[in-house]
Amino acid sequence: MTETWATRAGLDLFLAPEAARGARPRRALEDALRDAVRTGRLAAGTRVPSSRSLAADLGIARNTVAEVYGQLVAEGWFEARVGSGTWVGERPRPAARPAPPERTTRPAADLRAGLPDGTQLPRSAWTAATRRAIEALGPGELGYTPRVGLPRLREEVAEYVARTRGVVARPDDVVVTTGFSETLALVCAALRASGARRLAVEAYGHERHRAIARAAGLDLQVLPVDDDGARVDLLDADAVLLTPAHQFPTGVPLAPARRVAVARWAEATDGLVVEDDYDGELRYDRRPVGALQALAPGHVVYAGTANKAFAPSLGVGWAVAPGWLVAELERIRADRGVRADGLGQAVLADLLATHAYDRHVRRVRVAYRERRDRLAAALASRVPRAQLRGLPAGLHVVVELPDGVAASAAVEAGERHGVLFEALADFRAAVPGIVGGADADGRCVVVGFGAPPAHAYAAALEGTVAALAEAAG
């Protein structure tokens, strides 16, 4: 076929016998011309044939071509120039083809702290709860979900955290978020808006949390962490972020006297405590210490999440906050335009109401405890000079290596054995002039046992133990 304007534009379809053209020539021609412009087959600034001429070439009605030109002019693909016909618009357009997917290297077993095993998601319970929840949605639950969460879920969360963690909570005190990070970001913004300038953080923690606070415009005071938890006696800030039940990632619980001291500090200074109860549900050896929040509900925002014990893909967290702060969190969420998925919240409310949530938590707690026990037993037998900390709860342990063994050497050995874990020092706030943590800091690694799927845990465990044994000599 010789190249004509129509073939250049990719209109070959229209040159084929009538039967091949389909029933909707107008739509097909529009799509073909748009595609031709988008991909550059029809260059910007070129003139297109008159509608009469193209209609004759294609064997379709002139009126059809004229309508298509009109549509494409309206959409800006073509330009109609008075007295000079129709032209392809002048701006360049990138191709619409998807980019080829990036090649990914085979990942090592991920033993970073705090990551749960997403494959524990109880798929059939979720599906069953969805069916029930969707059928039960009332007329008031089908519109836009309130910024602070679906009322039914706020009720269930209030009941749940009171029952499991001793939190003093009415439904009106609960704000549903997409997870702890969002809770923290909202609280930091509320603090800043109320004139606060400084947030105290523990010397160890997630760098992401510190970044969120800094992004909100807060300065950080770093509190050293010792065997009784964070040194709250050194507090010199407007608010403090704590992990009282199980300091992250060192595993130290905040000592009772310090719990009382920080509650008194908050009341005396009108300060705010942000209680990150990140692994409140994952306690193995004894009944957990209750939430600090109950000591001073007017000055503590309690923050929990369903993402660790239930499923990270859920994307749900909750805050129990004093009244003024609930109103502020709602206002800031509105300014950020964030409004979480009401359907998912209805499903979670159903899971809590039917106790399917509790049943699932108990099941994963047993599974994670068994992983922890296997890790502890393997290390005791094959790296006997290592000491373990932070065992009673959570999804990771701290391994203190023998004197003279650098954590960095263990991390490198891990890479050679195909496992990814981190040095304790990686969690330390990088603030010059403030020393935090135990002397052993440089010899400690943090080993998560949550993330690998069950079938991959044995290999991840073997790689970890081999790496630590190698590093410890």
How far is Cα 199 from Cα 306, in angstroms, rounded to an integer?
A: 25
As measured in angstroms, the least distance from the Cβ of 412 to a copy of itself is 25
As measured in angstroms, the least distance from the Cβ of 82 to a copy of itself is 12
Tell me how many degrees the CA angle 304-276-356 measures, rounded to the nearest 5.
20
How far is Cα 112 from Cα 420, in angstroms, rounded to an integer?
A: 6
Dihedral sign computed on CA atoms, order 224, 228, 230, 236: negative
How far is Cα 311 from Cα 119, in angstroms, rounded to an integer?
A: 8
**DSSP state at residue 21:** G
Which of 283, 339, 365, 382 is in the footprint of a copy of itself by CB under 8 A? 339
Q: Return the structure tokens found at 70.
A: 């009109």
Query: Does position 183 bind a copy of itself by CB under 8 A?
Result: yes
Neighbours of 90 (CB within 10 A): 9
As measured in angstroms, the least distance from the Cβ of 386 to a copy of itself is 28
Which of 53, 178, 354, 387 is in the footprint of a copy of itself by CB under 8 A? 178
How many angstroms separate the Cα of 450 from the Cα of each of 49, 289, 325, 330, 415? 65, 22, 33, 33, 18
How far is Cα 220 from Cα 412, in angstroms, rounded to an integer?
A: 31
Site string for a copy of itself, 36-75 (x = CB under 8 A): --x--------------------------------x-xxx
Q: Which of 27, 363 has the CB closer to a copy of itself?
A: 27
Which of 148, 409, 420, 451 is in the footprint of a copy of itself by CB under 8 A? 451
Site size toward a copy of itself, by CB under 8 A: 96
Query: Does position 338 bind a copy of itself by CB under 8 A?
Result: yes
Q: Which of 227, 439 has the CB closer to a copy of itself?
A: 227
As measured in angstroms, the least distance from the Cβ of 289 to a copy of itself is 5
How far is Cα 111 from Cα 452, in angstroms, rounded to an integer?
A: 7
- Given a contact cutoff of 8 angstroms between Cβ atoms, the answer to whether 414 and 467 are in contact is yes
How far is Cα 321 from Cα 331, in angstroms, rounded to an integer?
A: 14
Which of 13, 121, 431, 459 is in the footprint of a copy of itself by CB under 8 A? 121
How far is Cα 121 from Cα 126, in angstroms, rounded to an integer?
A: 8
Site string for a copy of itself, 4-43 (x = CB under 8 A): -----------------------x------x---x-----
Query: Does position 388 bind a copy of itself by CB under 8 A?
Result: no
Query: Does position 91 bind a copy of itself by CB under 8 A?
Result: yes
Q: Which of 213, 465 has the CB closer to a copy of itself?
A: 213
Residue with tokens 């210490």: 289
Which residues, numbered 220-279, are part of the site for a copy of itself (CB under 8 A)?
256, 259-260, 263-264, 267
Query: Does position 94 bind a copy of itself by CB under 8 A?
Result: yes
As measured in angstroms, the least distance from the Cβ of 126 to a copy of itself is 6
Q: Return the structure tokens found at 141.
A: 């639950």
Query: Does position 390 bind a copy of itself by CB under 8 A?
Result: no
How far is Cα 395 from Cα 240, in angstroms, rounded to an integer?
A: 24
Which residues, numbered 290-319, are part of the site for a copy of itself (CB under 8 A)?
290, 292, 294-298, 307, 311-316
As measured in angstroms, the least distance from the Cβ of 298 to a copy of itself is 7
As measured in angstroms, the least distance from the Cβ of 469 to a copy of itself is 29
User: Which helix (DSSP H) or strand (DSSP E) does residue 360 occupy?
Assistant: helix 356-382
Judge residue 105's burial from the number of C-beta atoms within 10 Å of its C-beta, 0-12 exposed, 13-18 middle, 19 or more buried.
exposed
Please tell me whether residue 112 adopts helix, strand or coil conformation: coil
As measured in angstroms, the least distance from the Cβ of 229 to a copy of itself is 12
Nearest-10 crossing angle of helices 25-38, 62-74: 50
Which of 56, 61, 234, 334 is in the footprint of a copy of itself by CB under 8 A? 334
Which of 340, 398, 424, 468 is in the footprint of a copy of itself by CB under 8 A? 340
How far is Cα 425 from Cα 430, in angstroms, rounded to an integer?
A: 9
Which residues, numbered 133-162, are part of the site for a copy of itself (CB under 8 A)?
134-135, 137, 139, 141-145, 155, 158, 162
Which of 14, 77, 265, 457 is in the footprint of a copy of itself by CB under 8 A? 77
Residue with tokens 């994307």: 315
